[in-house]
Amino acid sequence: MRALLDASLESINEVLLGKKYQVRLALACLIAGGHLLIEDLPGMGKTTLSQTLARVLGLSFQRIQFTSDLLPSDILGTSVFDKDSGHFEFHQGPIFAELVLADEINRATPKSQSALLEAMEEGQVTIEGATRPLPSPFFVIATQNPSHHSGTFALPESQLDRFLMRLSLGYPAHAAEKALLMGEARRELLPRLPAVFDHAQLQAVQAEVRAVRVTDALVDYVLRLVEATRNQPQFAWGLSPRGSLALVAAARAWALLAGRTYVIPEDVQAVLPAVASHRLRERADTAGQGGAALVQWLLHEVPVL
C-alpha cells in the first residue's frame, strides 16, 4: 500500500513540477475522503492537478466550467423527452463522475454553487423528485480565483467549511518553471500516465487512513489549537467541530503518506494551513483575506506538548 502511495505521488510530481507539498496535501485530502478547494490565479496548474489526480487514482473525471449563466441542471442533469420510447429519459449531468472538477466555482451564481455543494455533502442528488446516488468514491475539486477579482461570487463561510482543504499552488519556483518551459507540454503527459490505484485499493487506503492512531496527547494538542481559535481575541470566530474533525482526518492521511501508522503533532501542523486558513478570519480583516496569518500564529504560539 505504501508503495502505491509513493508511486502515485511520484507520478503526480512528474506532471506538476516543484509543487511537492501541495501535491502531497491534495492526495492526503482525497485519501481522507475530503473535497478540495484550490484557490489560485488562472494558469497555475489547477486543472492539470485535478486531471492527474483522477488518472492516478483511477477515477472517472468530469470537468464543469462554472460561468455566471450556469444553471443547476447543467450540473446535475435533466430529463429529456425521448420520442422513440415516449418516456422522459434522464440525462446525467457532469456531476455523475468520480472526480469532478468544478472550475472557477466563484464565477457561478450562488444557486448553482449550492447545487454542487449539496451534492458534495449528501453523496446523492435529487432531481425532479427522484433521488439518484452519486458514484462512490465521489470527490470534488473546486477551483476559484482569489475572491477580490471582479465579477465573482465568493463562497460563504458555511460552504467553505465543506471543503476539507483549501490549497494555493502559487507560482512555480525558478528551476521548476525552467523545466516546465524546456520540457514537453504537461497536458500531453497525461494520457500516458498509468492509473496506480483501482477502486478496491483506493477503498483500502481510505480504510487505512481511518485506522491511523491518534493518542490522547495528540488530541490534547488539537484541542489546544481549536480552543485558541475560540478564545483568542484576534480570531473573528473559532474553528467549528467539523473543522476540528477535518483537522484530525487530514492529519491521519498525512501521517499515512509519511509512512506512519500514528499521528504526530508535526502532521497536524503540516495540514493546518490547508485545513484551517479558509475557516478562520482575523477580526481586524474586513476584506476577507483569510486566516493565513492566524494559522501562522497558531503554529508558533500554541504549545505542542
- The residues binding other proteins (CB under 8 A) are 148-150, 213, 215, 217-218, 231, 233, 260-266, 269, 287, 298-305
Q: Which of residues 17 and 247 has its CB atom nearest to other proteins in the complex? A: 247
Q: Which of residues 120 and 264 has its CB atom nearest to other proteins in the complex? A: 264
The closest alpha carbon to 78, from 114, 128, 115, 118, belongs to 128
Q: By the 8 A CB rule, do 250 and 28 touch? A: yes
Q: By the 8 A CB rule, do 24 and 65 touch? A: no
Which residues, 6+ apart, have CB-to-CB distance to 260 below 8 Å? 212, 267
Shortest spacing between CB 289 and other proteins, in angstroms: 11
Angle at alpha carbon of residue 101, lines to 168 and 208, rounded to 5° = 80
Q: Which of residues 136 and 231 has its CB atom nearest to other proteins in the complex? A: 231
Q: Which of residues 194 and 303 has its CB atom nearest to other proteins in the complex? A: 303
Strand partners, 144: 39
Q: Which of residues 20 and 148 has its CB atom nearest to other proteins in the complex? A: 148
Shortest spacing between CB 46 and other proteins, in angstroms: 22
Match 483549501 to its residue by C-alpha cell: 166
Beta strands across the sheet bearing 61-65 = 61-65, 99-103, 139-144, 36-39, 165-167
Shortest spacing between CB 272 and other proteins, in angstroms: 10
Return the C-alpha cell found at 233: 481575541
Shortest spacing between CB 210 and other proteins, in angstroms: 16
Shortest spacing between CB 212 and other proteins, in angstroms: 10
Shortest spacing between CB 249 and other proteins, in angstroms: 16
Q: By the 8 A CB rule, do 77 and 100 touch? A: no
Shortest spacing between CB 260 and other proteins, in angstroms: 8
Say whether 166 sits in a helix, a strand or coil. Answer: strand
CA distances from 156 to 67, 124, 279 (A): 18, 22, 10
Shortest spacing between CB 207 and other proteins, in angstroms: 19
The Cα 214–Cα 249 span in angstroms is: 10
Q: Which of residues 64 and 263 has its CB atom nearest to other proteins in the complex? A: 263
The Cα 125–Cα 138 span in angstroms is: 12
Q: Which of residues 97 and 256 has its CB atom nearest to other proteins in the complex? A: 256
Q: Half-sphere exposure of residue 3, counting CA atoms within 13 Å on the CB side?
A: 0
Q: Which of residues 111 and 178 has its CB atom nearest to other proteins in the complex? A: 111
